[in-house]
Structure 1
């Protein structure tokens, strides 16, 4: 099995550091980099882009609501056209950093509350993926399981990489359960490892309410802002490799 291992990175702001980005880049194969709205700033974006290039890691834009105080995890009431401009603005900022550094964007994903909303809303998914296509039709869309995103990607001729979120609980429809629920974020390495093994062996995940559903993913994601993200990343990589799997960037997996 070949599979991508990716993490959300570049999520500090100014002098405030978030996560162990450099150490994580020795473990993962793709990075989703904050573009300045929910986290990140020009200097952090530039440093993260250059580090990804040096490590040979795929670079993706992690697009969210303009909510630094809430880390992009609070719902915001923003009309669709305005959200489309947010997508263009953020992708353009990171693509510019990448171009100057000699790197390029291979993929994009939606962060936090915006990601949850897009995954559950057919019309919004269609509108925002139309914007992604207009920006760069070669970008891969990285998404958790979502029929809305899958359908929109197919309509717009975009490639989609479904991602298994190793440290987040799922509902029976394959969507992520709200973070407000207890145990919605799974932090214990042993539990994360068990979930990864179930996914690798059977292509399934056990939902928050006990149902077992299929997850047709080619990528495994963990959140770089988790306090034990580095430990989780090492545990996941060991589980993949001990099972005979090979970790490769997402751009090598999606035709």
Structure 2
């Protein structure tokens, strides 16, 4: 456990939106805290209440947490970037990710993002620059409304979607760099239960898990570039489902 002290730096943030050529500004930082032994903000915890930490073996590693544990809002959802700035120091930065095309003004918050087939979540820029990744984790918890494809994460360099077939088998399809692969659970699910999804790369092998069960096939994944300055989106037009949590960890190891 990290121990000792906590330092909070609070800054006021103007929430006025500036539109330039219909492109929104990057997420607003709400506040940042450097912590040793501090309790993270609720938005920085997993949906089960556990602290989320980046890979300690990777300098400048970060994790994006979207758990929707905030007051409902129709313009944005408050996410958390947990970044490692030293061996014993984590920074927690709350950010606003926009709800694009939310024409019905669906409220996101209270622990859930109820996608209605119109809006999606857009985090325009998390970091700066890119780097080769040999590990990667994306995990989520969701309810599905029926057969279809559901976007857990979309990015220029990586993407993960869940899919449900007509017999209610749940699967995952992942793209890491130039490698794409898909696998599904052999046991059918049903409408209603929370489904725990995990796609990860470890030691150049891509693996999917549904509710803790490894799926086949796996895939060989070469190290690939991931540009953290590019947008990350969740959800897509036409998708009706409820997301309870998604955690994106480009350095891997947070959520297995």
Whether TM exceeds 0.5 here: the answer is: no
- Higher strand content, 1 or 2: 2
TM-score, normalization: structure 1? 0.32
- Higher helix content, 1 or 2: 1
TM-score, normalization: structure 2? 0.32
